[in-house]
Amino acid sequence: MATSRDIRNLTLIGFMGSGKSAVGRLAAAQLGFDFLDTDERIESAAGMSIPEIFQREGEAGFREWERRIVRSLAGLSRTVIATGGGLPTYDDHLERLKEHSLVVCLWASPETLYQRVRHHDHRPLLQTADPLARIRELLARREPWYRQADVLIQTEQRSVREVAAQVVHAFRLHAPSKV
């Protein structure tokens, strides 16, 4: 696939609990951009919650929804896109996102991610006896993709506001003509 880039959007990638949605909403407000969350898009297109999709169609069915969503993003501009944690690690998704977006990865250690997600039960992949072990294993598998982001931002010990400010700064630096 051609890798020519026309950076019109800002896409956040990173593991579950890295803060993509919260940071994304704030960054969008600061840039005057729209905000789109791929999980929310999938839920409204499917008419089901993410756990229901996993239950009825399996993880493979959910990834199929993600594949369709990724293709539908190509026409967007001036949008901050928060992706599901696994989305950039499948097929050519990362390459496709980079065609129209600056891709920023939010990073945190497995222990911090676990602290952030442990009281939530809407993530099917973490409904296991040992979620921390699952996070370690999945993060290790996904790290090679996350590291291919244009910008990697450490979120450890930092507020949503601080991280959003850094995300906005990175976008202004890389795409000054778009803001």
Residues that bind ligand S3P (CB under 6 A): 16, 20, 39, 50, 84-86, 123-125
31 vs 87, beta carbon nearer ligand S3P: 87
Token representation of residue 124: 């099917």
Whole-angstrom distance between the N-terminal and C-terminal Cα of the chain? Answer: 28
Rounded Cα gap, residues 19 and 3, in angstroms: 28
Q: What does the alpha-carbon distance between residue 39 and residue 110 come to, in Å, rounded to a whole number?
A: 22
**Packing angle, helices 50-72 and 93-100, rounded to 10:** 50
In the complex, minimum distance from the CB of residue 158 to ligand S3P, in angstroms, rounded to a whole number: 18
Task: Work out how close the CB of 96 gets to ligand S3P at its nearest, in angstroms, rounded to a whole number.
Answer: 17
Question: In the complex, what is the shortest distance from the CB of residue 7 to ligand S3P, in angstroms, rounded to a whole number?
Answer: 23
Nearer to ligand S3P, 96 or 178 (CB): 96
Q: How far is the CB of 138 from ligand S3P (least distance, A)?
A: 7
Copy the structure tokens of residue 167: 């995300």
Of the pair 47, 176, the CB lying nearest ligand S3P is at 47
Q: How far apart are the C-alpha atoms of 176 and 31, rounded to whole Å?
A: 12
Nearer to ligand S3P, 6 or 72 (CB): 72
